[in-house]
Structure 1
């Protein structure tokens, strides 16, 4: 049954991939005939193949099967691998906390089983988890731990495996320093490792060179970036490893683009593009196309540049690569600024800012803010320019970005020059920009600084100094993005030569300025740019429509689920209500029965009480009759009392109803006066007599009949007889002995 279920599941969910996952399909077919460890190993292989992709749910599914099977077989190695693939699946699904839990188990178990490969893999995955959840400090710490561990395996049998991971670890560690805006810390770390590991092979040292140049190229020091990158490229060309050659050529293209040497950048990007096309890697191709397009445009070939940029963007959108799309928006924004399409420039740059902030790529966002400030400046919007410059300044200071600080002071000097006409502020801001440009060694920044210095000296009528700086700026004019700024350099030089009375030179540069201005407004170029932008807008609209259809489908399914949920909830509530009403009805019925029973018992008790009351009334009547009879006897026979006072006392006693213990206490006290020795003698002879038994003895002593005693005691005559019988039994009297005989005997003994 297990194999049948698996077979059905595979055919239901993986038919669309039947032709692209032949290897996995073959493994699934093999697994149907397997059991035990063979079955487990086949599924581990399937989970491993999926773990290299981004289908997290599929990885989790197969990893769970492997983990359950490994537990059944008590296979620790199988359980270890299953946990690792499970962690990979959770990471791909962005379930970072759950993934971290699995990875920590992998680290513990792999150390226990002495499996160094799995330890290294787990360290690396743990660092990627923290990187994905944007906990960059923790990510750096774990990447460094993975890095140290990989180096420790260089002298073991796992050397090749460790070197493979060493390449990936250093690369991702470098990116994480960048993401965390800790570029200088990353540079210091790699410098330290370079000085420590001088005995490493060239291939291993190349990793340091490539990654430290990447960090220097983030606006820190372009010349140092070039030095290290050329070393890396020399090593990769010797080795002939295509991936390494591609990476170094692409990095050199980016470096020379930042330096404003666009012809060199184009050469290196073209080399990288050939490798990417031979490898049929669309991701690499799209990245190179974008950057190559920017450099063609900067070098004067607008049509070719725009074609490449939009082709590269199209691939990124199809691949849903958000990081690359954000970068593409940044490129488009810069392109639109250059060709004075400021509305579109602002649109694309705002999108880039939003996406870079979402991914916490602050260095990229700093570039976006610098570009949008330049756009607002070009639109002569001083307030908006100042607003974005303030944001740029805060972010550049917070993340210690020299290129951002340099851009800020360049733009501030431009504001002071063209809006405020304040030479002192211009010069002060230029000095600060100059300091940061000396750190970054950016050709573009240096060109802008030379241009503004030239305009500043022209403002203060220092013509020779103005000529020197403007000539330097004109020499490097192609490094400047804005064609208008290139035109302004030519115009300023024309004005300088005019004031120096060198009219030929003045006219020459005026012609150059006109030529650039005509290019900006060249109808075909402008129409072509807008046509491409419209095509891109249509493409975006189609992608949005696809996304909307997809979202609508999800929404429809969600609505169905919600409806089903509410139907089930309603039925459940109705069922619960019915059950509650039934229970409530039963409870009320039971309560009614209990009340009926209580009423019946109360009725019975009432009848008993009524009978008791009637019986007590009868006894009271008998007692009163008895007392009346005793009174009559006393009246007719007073000789048994020695004095008249005693007769009156007894008569008074009999006149009182002996209904309470206090009445009986008074009676016994009066009785003891007449017979002082009777009760003490009785108690002395029969020590276990009760108070009621003593009462009976005193009444017998008075010579009362059973009927008379029952009237006084308020009990029935039969109860009196029963009490007399029990008393006889207690005193162990013979059958022919009477209680009266005991009393007479006691009186006789007392008199003697």
Structure 2
């Protein structure tokens, strides 16, 4: 996504071939930023030059691209601020297509922060502009986003309608990457509907187009999806082959996130084949990749925040410099008037004007002091925000560690319990009393209260006051209900939740049904979606 940001910006620059910084921007195009921090640094340089050369349209495009980098890194507030500034510049310069693209990006941002109504409003405004300008590629992009919005709402008929509209436009414009993404979206919808044959067909079409356009990042995710389909249809060996292929691509690209995802999928497949050694190996490897991902992401976020701070600081300095220039022009103009008045009116008028000039200088100094104090307060606020985010990342890692330990412990106990139950059924009656005692101890350890207390403490530190807020919807929630809700909030699958709670999937289904009743959810409301939205 970061690379596409750079490419879009360069195309924009080439379209407005009339500014002195074009040579530097061509070099920027050749470098093709490798990560968000590098991309933001390069955009900052172009942004400063755009301001210096008074190129308002390029300045707006830089703000838009910086907004995209920010929301992809989870800095939604800063991203929205960049988008709104870009919208103001585009509107002042009557850049209709730039306004539409910016509105579409704002819609995606609202989609990420789970505000679908605002997302749909911005998509509709963008689509209206694209239709007026007869921009087919822009229309296809908006159709795809609207389709995703309906898919998340589980309104699959509308999702199919808009995705097919996008596919039709992409095929007519021969946009290979765009068509590949739509086929992938359609495959995901069919997978949600458990129509696995159709899902596999669309994923294969998507993979063919991604490979045709040499898009390896897109190919990894689609291959992983094909592995999921094979696993869900009981074709475990074929599933492992596909996932291992995706893992090889991820290793070559150094994509730690996809490596962790592949390891989790391989662990599930081997567990379903009852090959516990292999399952344990990949679960452990996936845990290692997850820890590496957290460490790498933490360092990248620190660097990203520093660059973001530098951009805001630079913007403040530029604004201050522009204001100083205005003040200097005013002072120079006033001085000229003073000289003329001195010649005409003499010494008395000159003295009065000199006092006036002194007052203006004192006022300017006072404003400088106030500005310095404001800048210092802003810097302290940024540092405090950075510290809080680092603490949240540490707590998130602790929560993940507790969860993984609980899963591993309960999986081991479950396996041991099944083995002992099989031994109890044996005819050697002299062993039954001892083994029954062992089974009782194992059952007691499934819901070890200390582990759950540690898990609950870590969960509440990450999700502030979530459990207290949830109690507003019902006063009948038990401690078991709160544990189930916490696991659903972490977006764990049913198998892991059953293992953590030490119950069967049927019992879990009953627990979910009872929880829906306590929360007064209607038949059409999704329990997991309701909890995630809180």
Q: Give TM-score scaled by structure 2 length.
A: 0.51
> Is contact 2:21–2:49 with CA below 8 Å preserved after alignment?
no
Q: 1:245 to 1:400 in 2, by over 3 A?
A: farther
Q: 1:173 to 1:452 in 2, by over 3 A?
A: farther
Tell me if 1:369 matches 2:376: no
Tell me if 1:189 matches 2:42: yes
For 1:140-187, what per-residue CA distance to the aligned partner results, in whole angstroms no more than 9, with x for missing partners?
99x98997xx8xxxxxxxx974259969x789949x938xx7777645
Give runs of aligned pairs for residues 710-729 of structure 1, distance below 5 A. Answer: none
> Is contact 2:263–2:282 with CA below 8 Å preserved after alignment?
no
Q: 1:194 to 1:146 in 2, by over 3 A?
A: closer
Question: Distance between the aligned counterparts of 2:291 and 2:43, measured in 1?
Answer: 28
> Is contact 2:137–2:170 with CA below 8 Å preserved after alignment?
yes
Aligned to 2:442: none
Unmatched segments (≥5 aa) in structure 2: 302-395, 414-445, 460-482, 527-534
Residue 343 of structure 1, aligned match among 197, 216, 226? 197
Q: 1:425 to 1:264 in 2, by over 3 A?
A: farther
Tell me if 1:475 matches 2:494: no
Aligned to 1:329: 183
Question: Distance between the aligned counterparts of 2:12 and 2:245, measured in 1?
Answer: 37
Aligned to 2:423: none
Aligned to 1:235: 86
Tell me if 1:297 matches 2:129: no
Aligned to 1:72: none
Q: 1:464 to 1:171 in 2, by over 3 A?
A: farther
Question: Distance between the aligned counterparts of 2:109 and 2:134, measured in 1?
Answer: 25
Aligned to 1:177: 32
Question: Distance between the aligned counterparts of 2:261 and 2:141, measured in 1?
Answer: 25
Give runs of aligned pairs for residues 329-728 of structure 1, distance below 5 A. Answer: 329-415=183-269, 420-421=275-276, 426-436=283-293, 439=297, 453=404, 455-456=407-408, 458-459=410-411, 461=446, 462-463=451-452, 468=459, 471-472=485-486, 474-475=488-489, 507-508=514-515
Residue 162 of structure 1, aligned match among 2, 6, 18? 18
Aligned to 1:715: none
Structure 1 residue 337 displacement after superposition:
1.7
Question: Distance between the aligned counterparts of 2:267 and 2:524, measured in 1?
Answer: 24
Question: Distance between the aligned counterparts of 1:164 and 1:333, measured in 2?
Answer: 47
Residue 73 of structure 2, aligned match among 209, 218, 222? 222
Structure 1 residue 386 displacement after superposition:
2.5
Question: Distance between the aligned counterparts of 1:281 and 1:164, measured in 2?
Answer: 30
Question: Distance between the aligned counterparts of 2:195 and 2:28, measured in 1?
Answer: 37
Structure 1 residue 367 displacement after superposition:
2.4
For 1:407-446, what per-residue CA distance to the aligned partner results, in whole angstroms no more than 9, with x for missing partners?
33443454466554556753552342254267299xxxx9
Structure 1 residue 370 displacement after superposition:
2.8
Q: 1:506 to 1:340 in 2, by over 3 A?
A: closer
Paired residue secondary structure (1:223):
coil
Question: Distance between the aligned counterparts of 2:46 and 2:40, measured in 1?
Answer: 10
Residue 308 of structure 1, aligned match among 157, 162, 167? 162
Tell me if 1:244 matches 2:98: yes
Unmatched segments (≥5 aa) in structure 1: 1-135, 151-158, 478-484, 520-752
Paired residue secondary structure (1:227):
helix
Q: 1:254 to 1:391 in 2, by over 3 A?
A: farther
Structure 1 residue 231 displacement after superposition:
0.7
For 1:266-322, what per-residue CA distance to the aligned partner results, in whole angstroms no more than 9, with x for missing partners?
444334223323434333222211221122111222222222112222232333332
For 1:324-370, what per-residue CA distance to the aligned partner results, in whole angstroms no more than 9, with x for missing partners?
22221111122222222222222211221121122112222222223
Q: 1:390 to 1:303 in 2, by over 3 A?
A: same
Give runs of aligned pairs for residues 21-40 of structure 1, distance below 5 A. Answer: none
Structure 1 residue 455 displacement after superposition:
4.7
Question: Distance between the aligned counterparts of 2:142 and 2:512, measured in 1?
Answer: 40
Question: Distance between the aligned counterparts of 2:35 and 2:51, measured in 1?
Answer: 25
Question: Distance between the aligned counterparts of 2:177 and 2:117, measured in 1?
Answer: 27
Q: 1:238 to 1:207 in 2, by over 3 A?
A: closer
Question: Distance between the aligned counterparts of 1:171 and 1:264, measured in 2?
Answer: 38
Question: Distance between the aligned counterparts of 2:76 and 2:507, measured in 1?
Answer: 41
Q: 1:177 to 1:473 in 2, by over 3 A?
A: farther
Paired residue secondary structure (2:18):
helix
> Is contact 1:487–1:516 with CA below 8 Å preserved after alignment?
no
> Is contact 2:63–2:86 with CA below 8 Å preserved after alignment?
no
Q: 1:403 to 1:245 in 2, by over 3 A?
A: farther
> Is contact 1:372–1:388 with CA below 8 Å preserved after alignment?
yes
Q: 1:507 to 1:245 in 2, by over 3 A?
A: same
Question: Distance between the aligned counterparts of 2:497 and 2:188, measured in 1?
Answer: 22
Question: Distance between the aligned counterparts of 1:352 and 1:490, measured in 2?
Answer: 32
Question: Distance between the aligned counterparts of 1:347 and 1:414, measured in 2?
Answer: 23
> Is contact 2:107–2:122 with CA below 8 Å preserved after alignment?
yes
Aligned to 2:469: none
Question: Between Structure 1 and Structure 2, how many residues are aligned?
Answer: 351
Paired residue secondary structure (2:74):
helix
Q: 1:410 to 1:376 in 2, by over 3 A?
A: same
Alignment root-mean-square deviation, CA: 5.3
For 1:498-556, what per-residue CA distance to the aligned partner results, in whole angstroms no more than 9, with x for missing partners?
9999x9778326999x999999xxxxxxxxxxxxxxxxxxxxxxxxxxxxxxxxxxxxx
Q: Give TM-score scaled by structure 1 length.
A: 0.38
For 1:45-77, what per-residue CA distance to the aligned partner results, in whole angstroms no more than 9, with x for missing partners?
xxxxxxxxxxxxxxxxxxxxxxxxxxxxxxxxx
Aligned to 1:738: none
> Is contact 2:64–2:86 with CA below 8 Å preserved after alignment?
no
Q: 1:366 to 1:375 in 2, by over 3 A?
A: same
